[in-house]
Amino acid sequence: MAELTVSTKAFSQHIRAIITESERIFLTLGKTTPLFVKELHQNLINLEQTYATQGGAQRSLQDLEHLFNGTKTIIQQSSLLFMQMHGRGDRLLYSLSDSLNKLQNLDEIIKKIRNDSEDMALIALNALTGAIKSGSAGRAFSVITDELKRLSDQTNQLTDILQTDSASLINQLKNYTNELHKLKYLQTKVFSGLDRTITEQFSAIEEKVRELTESLYALITESKTLETPVSAVMETVQIQDILRQSLDHILIALDEYESVQQDPSVDTEELAAFKGQLATLGEVIVTDVIKRLEAAALTFETAILAIQTLIRRGEKQRTLLLREHFSSLSEHSILSVFDEAARTLTAVEQNLSEYMAIKQTIASQGNRIADAVAILSKQYVKFDKIINRFKTVDIAARIEISKQSILRSIKNTVLAMSELISRITQDVEEARKASLLFITDTHTAISEYTMTYTEEVSAFSVAQRELLSKFQQFSACKENLEQDTRHFTLFSETFLSLLDTQDTELANIKELVHQCKVLRDSFSEITTSLPTSEGTVEIKNQHLKDIINKFTIYAHKQAAAEIGNFEVVPSSSAGVLEIETSEVTFF
């Protein structure tokens, strides 16, 4: 009997160790599993709000659409301003074209003045020759011819200056009109079809963003299937009371076996038969415990495996999406459509800068032309002095001829001189009128156009700043989308930490199953080690019979509970077999 006592104590110690470890495991699970379930539910809510097609993705698209609409508004306003400037530019081009014609006509008049001036030099030379032939009377007339020669030279010099200034002005006006044509070309280049391009690019980005978010949302939808296995874990952690009751029944029976061994009135064969039945019933109950623990382990393992599989799939999908949508090597990535739109916005901003640079050049050229026109107008003041001097000389020549009959031989020459002076006077007057008309028209047109430069600079500076701001927002949208995808995760760090706890306790449950199997095998060894004859011995001791009956009833209840899917409630009239309810209460 000494060996049986040692065996009984070993059994009790083993069972108590299993009870202690199972209580520790299920106490931990009882604390963490509700958090685990709650965190999963919260994760799903957060993901739904962030990535649902009608949620976060739609908001992202709405933000992008708002950004694109704002950009289109800026471009449309700039385009309208361009059209207004285009109108002013066309009017200026028309005015300058007319002015160039007038200036070229003026150049022809100046050439005529120069030719007449050269003829005047020849006439002065002829008059001088005739005067010299007239003797002493002609010597006085030579003063007049010298003055005519001097005035003719001055006229030639002035016409040279006027022709040079006129040629320079014509060249400046041509350059000026070339810059205006550049502006017209640039306007067409910048704004032709730009509104349509912006719309198409937004549509391309919208399609890619939807494709991305729908791919992520498919994972979120799949993650909702985890709620069922995870919720099943909640029910599993409640088996601890049943496990404790079952194992406590075995402990109580073993304690009874210890006590009856000291009773000399108990027959040895009956005691051996009692031990065999006790081992058999213990094996049955432990087998039930094993089944419950294995079922719990399977429930935990199913949930954890589903979560881990989904996590791996999510990570794989995230990697594929990053490779497909955010790689510079992918022709159809989100980066490519974003970059295309960015190039469009950059080109618009650069073209605006180029436009304003040309405008600045035109403004500077306009100022130089205005200065050149002002200088041209001053040259005619010099002509007035020459013309007046020509008229004075003409009068003096006529007087000399009327006083000196000997000079009447050069009368025709003097008449030709008077005719030339009259022609030069008319040509100069014609040139003056043409010049004044050119000056007025050109100066007014250029001044008006130049005056709008400040207004246009201000307007386009605002447009450039707004476009730059939109571009920065646009870049931020792209970066946020990429970062959201790079950091996409189905589950929070808290949930993953709780998952690690569940995984650790799953390993502990499996170890607990192993310990229970060792205990069951020990009961089985006792049963098989007893002589066959002891299995037929009738137990007459009433105390032993009561223990076996109650133990048997509990084992049968456990089997029935498993079949009928209900819990065994410990009886309050179980006497010495009454089981204390576990202190571990989870829900």
Query: What is the pLDDT tens value at each position of the chain, 587 positions in all?
Result: 334 444 788 888 999 999 999 999 988 988 888 888 888 888 888 877 766 544 445 566 677 777 777 777 877 777 777 666 666 666 776 776 776 676 677 778 888 888 888 888 888 888 778 777 777 767 777 888 888 888 888 888 888 887 888 788 778 878 878 887 887 777 777 667 767 777 777 777 778 777 877 777 787 787 888 778 877 788 787 888 888 988 998 888 888 888 887 778 778 887 788 888 888 888 989 999 999 999 989 988 988 888 888 888 877 877 887 777 777 777 677 777 778 877 877 777 777 778 778 877 877 877 787 777 777 777 777 878 888 888 888 888 888 778 777 667 777 888 888 888 888 888 888 877 777 777 777 777 777 777 776 777 777 777 777 777 877 777 787 787 778 777 777 788 888 888 898 899 999 999 999 999 999 998 888 888 777 654 567 777 777 777 777 766 665 555 444 434 445 444 433 334 443 333 332 22
Predicted pLDDT of residue 126: 81
Q: How far is CA 208 from CA 204, 337, 488, in A?
A: 6, 8, 17
Between the alpha carbon of residue 20 and those of residues 23, 240, 286, 584, the distances in Å are 5, 11, 15, 11
From the list 31, 47, 36, the residue with the least C-alpha distance to 303 is: 36
Closest to 162 measured CA to CA, from 203, 124, 108, 216: 108
Residue recorded with tokens 């030639």: 156
For residue 571, the model assigns a pLDDT of 44
Q: Residue 536: exposed, middle, or buried by beta-carbon count in 10 A (0-12, 13-18, 19+)? A: exposed
The length of the chain in residues reads 587
Give the CA count within 13 Å in the CB-facing half-sphere of 311: 13
What span, in angstroms and rounded, lies between the C-alpha atoms of 197 and 131? 85
Q: What is the pLDDT of residue 463?
A: 74
pLDDT at position 379? 75
Q: Give which of 230, 282, 237 is closest to 256, Cα–Cα.
A: 282
Give the model's pLDDT for residue 293: 92
Measured distance between the N- and C-terminal CA atoms of the chain, rounded to whole angstroms: 45
Q: How many CB atoms lie within 10 A of CB 461?
A: 12
Secondary structure class of 580 (helix, strand, coil): coil
Amino acid occupying residue 334? I
Instruction: Work out the number of other CB atoms within 10 angstroms of the CB of residue 247.
Output: 22
